[in-house]
Amino acid sequence: MIRPDDHPPIPAAKIGVLIVNLGTPDAADAGAVRRYLAEFLSDRRVVEIPPILWQPILRGIVLRTRPKKSAHAYAQVWREDGSPLAAITRAQAKALEGAFGEGVIVDHAMRYGRPAIADRLAAMKAAGCERILVAPLYPQYCAATTATANDAAFAALAAMRWQPALRTLPPYYDDAAYIDALRESVETSLAALDFTPDAIVASFHGMPQRTLQLGDPYHCHCRKTARLLSDALGRPLVTAFQSRFGRAKWLEPATDVTLAALARDGVRKIAVIAPGFSADCLETLEEMAMRGRETFLESGGERFAYLPCLNDGEPGMKLLRTLIARELEGWVPRA
């Protein structure tokens, strides 16, 4: 017979906020990249090919050839405190501590790699969080990013006997606070340049064209973000999509093709922004700031600038405080 005294004490109820980003290898070496890619590319929301067809390709070709190349790319941007994405997301969570009042715990997780979503949710529950906001930091909704982060959170709860209440942060691609944060960040970065760009390219992460045909709103969300930001800046933006992978047709125009075409058409000075990324990462720092620069200059361009993401700067942190406080309404008493 279990007596009341046999039960561990129930901690005072708290609220958790878990900010989530995509993920990163633990190190810039082939082994760590292989482990990361095996998890990432096995997600059926990321690669929508039946596993019976995809897994032999993944295990037999991709994971034998891609890790070494990707590890070299990661090494170009690796920091003393780890990968840029991990370090910046950690800094974002740190900057949010105490922002929502007493009894609100803020933590961070990665969809792939560490710290894992399930592990951090379990830690929050153990710390007494009976209500948790999971906040995937993807402004534009995509099944391969927002949905799979939520999937991981829901799966973690499915394994819990005593589940916390759960909320998820909706996409904020057209939120006035997001557009204003982008405007402020871009204007500050442009003012620091020693040249005036002839054009600004807004580069979003690409997705297979098939995702649009299946009803994923990502393409439309990106286009609306670019249009609203263009209006806020008072100047046109060239919208493009980067990071193509595999042989399938992807959303167009492609960023690398666009950069080369602009240079050939006489655009000599250019700035590139990545409004779909909440933190700088391999795709922005290596693919855009390095390889994108090479593409533009080799095609006839003269000046190239990559403008950083919102990261943990004040415009970005003000945005996160606004978005998260809004989603915590009814849970956290208003000041």
Same domain, yes or no: 210 and 156: no
| Banded model confidence at residue 94, pLDDT cuts 50, 70, 90 | very high
CA distance 125 to 29: 34
Q: Are residues 266 and 291 in the same domain?
A: yes
Pick from 35, 42, 45, 71: which is nearest to 56 by CA?
Answer: 42
Q: pLDDT value at position 257?
A: 97
Are 198 and 96 members of one domain? no
Per-residue pLDDT at 69: 94
Query: Is residue 160 located within the same domain as residue 25?
Result: yes
Task: Please check the confidence at residue 295 and state whether its pLDDT lies above 70.
Answer: yes
Q: What region, left, alpha or beta, does residue 161 occupy, with left being phi > 0 and alpha being psi -120 to 50 degrees?
A: alpha
Task: Inform me whether the pLDDT recorded for 12 exceeds 80.
Answer: no
* 79 is a domain residue: yes
Which residues touch 19 (CB under 8 Å, ≥6 apart)? 89, 92, 93, 96, 106, 107, 108, 109, 135, 137, 320
pLDDT in the model for residue 3:
61
């994108």: which residue's tokens?
292
Residue 163: domain span:
14-172+315-327
Residue 91 lies in a domain: yes
| Inside any domain, residue 335 | no
Q: Which residue type, as a one-letter code, is found at position 116? A: A
Whether this prediction's pTM lies above 0.85 is answered by yes
Mean pLDDT, rounded, of the chain = 95
Any domain includes 48:
yes
Q: Which residues pair with 238 in a beta bridge?
A: 201
Q: What is the percent of the chain with per-residue pLDDT over 70, rounded to a whole number?
A: 96
Determine the average pLDDT of the residues in 63-78: 96
CB 202 within 8 A of CB 273: yes
| pLDDT class of 7 with cuts at 50, 70, 90 | low
Do residue 112 and residue 135 come from a single domain?
Answer: yes
In a shared domain, residues 167 and 20:
yes
What digits encode the pLDDT tens for the residues 164-175? 999 999 999 999
Interval 138-148 mean pLDDT: 98
Amino acid identity for residue 179 in this structure: I
CA atoms within 13 A on the CB side of 259: 30
Are 190 and 147 in the same domain?
Answer: no
Are both 251 and 103 inside the same structural domain?
no
Residue 188 lies in a domain: yes
Q: Is the dihedral of CA 160, 165, 170, 176 positive or negative?
A: negative
**Could you tell me if 144 and 46 are in contact, meaning their C-beta atoms sit under 8 angstroms apart?**
yes
Gap between the Cα atoms of 95 and 5, Å rounded: 40
Q: Contact, 327 vs 133, CB < 8 A? A: yes
The answer, yes or no, to whether residue 1 has pLDDT greater than 60, is no
Query: Is residue 1, in this structure, part of any structural domain at all?
Result: no
Task: Give domain status of residue 80, yes or no.
Answer: yes
For residues 112 and 77, membership in a common domain is answered with yes
Residues 108, 165, single domain; the answer is yes
Using one digit for the tens of pLDDT, what is the confidence trace for 188-203?
999 999 999 999 999 9
pLDDT band at 207 (very low <50, low <70, confident <90, very high): very high
Residue 161 within a domain: yes
Cα separation of 311 and 324, whole Å?
16
Residue partners of 259: CB distance under 8 A and separation at least 6: 201, 240, 270, 272, 292, 295, 296, 299, 301
291 burial class (0-12, 13-18, 19+ CB within 10 angstroms)? middle
Number of domains in the chain: 2
Q: Helix H segments across the chain?
A: 30-40, 51-57, 63-77, 84-96, 117-126, 148-158, 176-191, 209-213, 218-233, 255-264, 282, 293-298, 314-327
| pLDDT tens-digit map of 208-266 | 999 999 999 999 999 999 999 999 999 999 999 999 887 789 999 999 999 999 999 99
Whether 152 and 248 map to the same domain: the answer is: no
Token digits of residue 70: 């990707």
* CATH number of the structural domain spanning residue 90: 3.40.50.1400
Q: Tell me how crowded residue 298 is: count the other CB atoms within 10 A of its CB.
A: 11
Identify whether residues 116 and 203 lie together within a single domain.
no
Count the residues in the chain. 335
pLDDT, average across residues 36-58: 95
